[in-house]
Amino acid sequence: MQRRTALKNIGLSFGALTLTPTVASLIQSCQTADPAWAPSFLSQESALLIKKTIDVMLPTTANIPGATDLNLIRFVDSYIENISSKEEQEFAKMAIDIYAGAAQTTAGKESIAALTSEDIDQQLNDYLRPTPEKQANRSKVFYAYMEAIEAGTAGSPPIEGICQNLLNNLKNLAVLAFKHNEVIAKEHMVYTPVPGQQKGCVDLQEATGGKAWAL
């Protein structure tokens, strides 16, 4: 794929996630806590921002572990480094920097470390739960910018469009890792490595007690 064509499609491909054997292996390798862990792709500040963000997306509750408990920041860092293309990596770095600036400006904070869960939640409310009209407009502006990059006529990056695209992709990535984490799959979902029967149109409460299937 040509570089410019790849750039134009990053917003779609970065979020088109499937559980390949390689991705499954990454999820498994990142499940063990390591106090000495340091990001290999993300900078320390970027890793802190992404960790704060996915912690708000997937918080710890009384019964279910959250992003921090499951070490999801390690998976996000490893996924971008090992699975994403060079073009996607470049976009991720740019987008994270733009998101960091937007979050700090909105919250009136001078550093990523100073951002609170409430500050992050405000960003998620704006970019993950916008009106359909606002969402569509941001997407239109975002893809117009990608096309301008392809044509060599791009101006300033559209902050709102890039933040919306990044956070939606990050949500997809975090949820993929969350649902296929061994603890979540075995203890909080219905887990059958080799299903032995198929049931047609049945009530979910009757079939699984309301739980989703892990596989």
Delimit the domains of the chain by residue range.
Answer: 3-180
DSSP notation for the chain? --HHHHHHHHHHHTT-----HHHHHHHHHT-S--TT---SSS-HHHHHHHHHHHHHHS---SSS--TTTTTHHHHHHHHHHHTS-HHHHHHHHHHHHHHHHHHHHHHT-SSSTT--HHHHHHHHHHHHS--HHHHHHHHHHHHHHHHHHHHT---S--HHHHHHHHHHHHHHHHHHHHHTSHHHHHHTSB--SS------S--HHHHHTTPPB--
pLDDT given for residue 167 in this prediction: 94
pLDDT, tens digit (0-9, with 9 covering 90-100), for 100-120 = 999 999 999 999 999 999 999
| pLDDT the model gives residue 170 | 92
For the stretch 52-68, pLDDT in tens is: 999 999 999 888 888 89
Q: What pLDDT is recorded for position 1?
A: 40
What is the predicted pLDDT for the residue at 86?
A: 86
Per-residue confidence (pLDDT) for residue 12, from 0 to 100:
43
- What was the pLDDT predicted at 64? 84
Which pLDDT value is given to residue 3?
44
Q: Which residues of the chain are modeled with pLDDT < 50?
A: 1-12, 15
